[in-house]
């Protein structure tokens, strides 16, 4: 499967999803348990802002969550706002853990 992102494990619980070709831009997940993640931050390099990379990171995160048959919550304000208005994630988004 061709992915637009790569996985970088920071430690046993922290995972960065990094967009291919955009090494400085990432979305960071904390694994809560085997089937639950919390999105803790989203970062887009200042030189690349305004190009839709935040949306691409959100979609990469959703792909990762689906592939792992997991659910997610978000302390990251950017992701929390998008997810709370995204009807397509109602079965996998947990507003509060």
**In the prediction, which pLDDT does 71 show?**
98
CA-nearest of 12, 15, 10 to 61 is: 15
Q: Are 16 and 28 in contact (CB under 8 A)?
A: yes
pTM of the model: 0.91
The tens digit of pLDDT for each residue in 11-38 reads 889 999 999 998 889 999 999 999 999 9
DSSP 30: E
CA-nearest of 37, 40, 12 to 26 is: 40
**In the prediction, which pLDDT does 96 show?**
74
Given a cut of 50, the residues of the chain with pLDDT beneath it are 1
């Amino acid at each position: 499967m061709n992915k637009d992102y790569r996985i970088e494990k920071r430690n046993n619980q922290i995972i960065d999803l990094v967009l291919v070709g955009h090494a400085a831009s990432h979305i960071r997940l904390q694994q809560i348990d085997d089937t639950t993640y919390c999105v803790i931050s989203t970062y887009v390099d200042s030189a690349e802002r305004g190009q839709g990379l935040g949306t691409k990171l959100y979609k990469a995160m959703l792909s990762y969550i689906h592939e792992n048959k997991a659910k997610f919550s978000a302390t990251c304000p950017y992701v929390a706002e998008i997810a709370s208005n995204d009807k397509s994630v109602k079965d996998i988004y947990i507003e509060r853990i």
